[in-house]
């Protein structure tokens, strides 16, 4: 009998169902076998949102719940547009399909150590070097013509307008301290002039974070070995993709910041007040913005007295 996937009422129901792999692993194995792929020792990845299974040491199966179909569309289009265009490996689509209204992808499996595992044990010199490579990777992705990705909604101006409109409410709900909220209206008032709204859009993943890339060690130095997870791609202004590594990895250390930004293409002279204020605005407008959880600088809430001091703390010269 063919294993089936359920019709779930909402995302909360999906999360509860997903938490028990016994409910869905047989369907995943059945999908793999339907494509003549053996799954004799599947490995389930518990992190992330979708159902992700390593079928073997070569292939990954990723199943998207119906309510996250836009992520499937984004992933398919991104992997197709970027295929063969980058200097580092990304997954290659082997098969795509749908089971009971749940779209899925079978892709190649990349080799390397997950960035989230490797990053804490890297030397400071390696962290600076890896951030430079991440900056270069962001720039390389953005040099690829967006093609069909331009159809992904929302368009950048609409996205920014929506983010600006909901920004204060969001950060009040998330508990951003009042001293930072006090400067938020002024920053949002400047956002339209700080953030280009009509510049030619580039590919944005929004998530250059340790959970989405792989590292490996070569000759005693750690290098970026692969990039994956393109489910939240949109197109827009290029600086938006600097926020993930700035918040999660640079940790307010000047040499790390400079390595990231110079790898991306900015010179030391470019790292001025205007750039920092634009990055501060984008950080608060990011679709996943939550400074209390994401800024990896110990005690930053006490070190900065307002948003201007905070931008200097995150992106020091």
Please answer whether residues 187 and 91 qualify as being in contact, where contact means their C-beta atoms are separated by less than 8 angstroms. Answer: no
Distance CA 22, CA 89 (A): 32
Instruction: Give the C-alpha distances (Å, rounded to integers) separating 114 from 75, 82, 84.
Output: 19, 21, 22
Residue 208 Cα distances to 28, 183, 227, 271, angstroms: 28, 27, 9, 20
pLDDT of residue 192: 86
Ranges of the chain whose pLDDT falls below 50: 1
SS3 string of the chain? Answer: CCCCCCCCCCHHHHHHHHCCHHHCHHHHHHHHHHCCCCCCCCEEECCCCCEEEECCCCEEEEECCHHHHHHHHHHHHHHHHHCCCCCCCCCCEEEEEEECCEEEEEEECCCCEEHHHHHHHCCHHHHHHHHHHHHHHHHHHHHCCCHHHHHCCCCHHHHHHHHHHHHHHHHHHCCCCHHHHCCHHHHHHHHHHHCCCCCCCEEECCCCCHHHEEEEEECCEEEEEEECCCCCCEEECHHHHHHHHHHHHHCCCHHHHHHHHHHHCCCHHHCCHHHHHHHHHHHHHCCCCCHHHHCCCCCHHHHCCCHHHHHHHHCCC
- Under 8 Å CB-to-CB from 220, ≥6 apart: which residues? none
* Cα gap 260→304, rounded to integer Å: 22
pLDDT tens by residue, 269-310: 999 999 999 999 999 999 999 999 999 999 999 999 999 999
Taken in order of first residue, the domains within the chain and their CATH numbers are: 11-108 (3.30.200.20), 113-314 (3.90.1200.10)
Q: Which token pair is 302? A: 């006490």
Rg (CA), the chain: 20
Neighbour-count burial for 264-299, b at 16+ CB within 10 Å, e otherwise: bebeeeebeeebbbbbbbbbbbbeebebeebbebee
Instruction: Identify the CA nearest to 204 among candidates 283, 128, 290, 144.
Output: 144
Q: What is the pLDDT of residue 263?
A: 98
Note the pLDDT of residue 111: 94
The pLDDT assigned to 47 comes to: 78
CA neighbours within 13 Å on the CB side: how many for 192?
A: 8
């Amino acid at each position: 009998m063919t294993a089936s996937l359920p019709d779930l009422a909402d995302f909360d129901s999906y999360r509860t169902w997903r938490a028990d792999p016994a409910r869905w692993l047989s369907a995943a194995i059945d999908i793999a076998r339907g494509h003549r792929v053996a799954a004799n020792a599947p490995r389930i990845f518990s992190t992330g949102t979708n159902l992700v299974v390593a079928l073997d040491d070569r292939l990954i199966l990723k199943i998207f719940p119906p309510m996250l179909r836009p992520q499937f569309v984004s992933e398919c289009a991104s992997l197709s547009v970027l295929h063969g265009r980058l200097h580092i490996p990304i997954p290659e689509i082997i098969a795509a399909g749908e089971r009971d209204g749940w779209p899925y992808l079978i892709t190649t499996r990349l080799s390397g150590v997950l960035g989230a595992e490797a990053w804490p044990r890297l030397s400071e010199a390696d962290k600076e070097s890896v951030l430079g490579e991440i900056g270069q990777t962001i720039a390389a992705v953005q040099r690829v013509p967006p093609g069909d990705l331009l159809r992904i909604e929302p368009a950048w101006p609409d996205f920014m307008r929506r983010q600006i409109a909901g920004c204060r409410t969001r950060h009040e709900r998330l508990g951003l301290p009042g001293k930072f909220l006090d400067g938020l209206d002024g920053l949002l008032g400047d956002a339209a002039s700080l953030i280009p709204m009509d510049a030619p859009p580039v590919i944005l993943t929004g998530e250059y974070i340790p959970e989405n890339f792989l590292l490996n060690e070569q000759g005693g130095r750690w290098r970026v070995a692969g990039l994956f997870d393109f489910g939240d791609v949109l197109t827009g202004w290029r600086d938006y993709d600097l926020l993930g590594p700035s918040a999660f990895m640079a940790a307010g250390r000047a040499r790390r910041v400079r390595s990231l930004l110079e790898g991306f293409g900015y010179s030391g002279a470019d790292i001025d007040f205007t750039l920092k204020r634009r990055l501060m605005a984008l950080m608060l407008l990011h679709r996943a913005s939550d400074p209390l959880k994401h800024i990896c600088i110990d005690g930053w809430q006490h070190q900065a007295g307002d948003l201007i001091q905070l931008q200097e703390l995150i992106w020091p010269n």
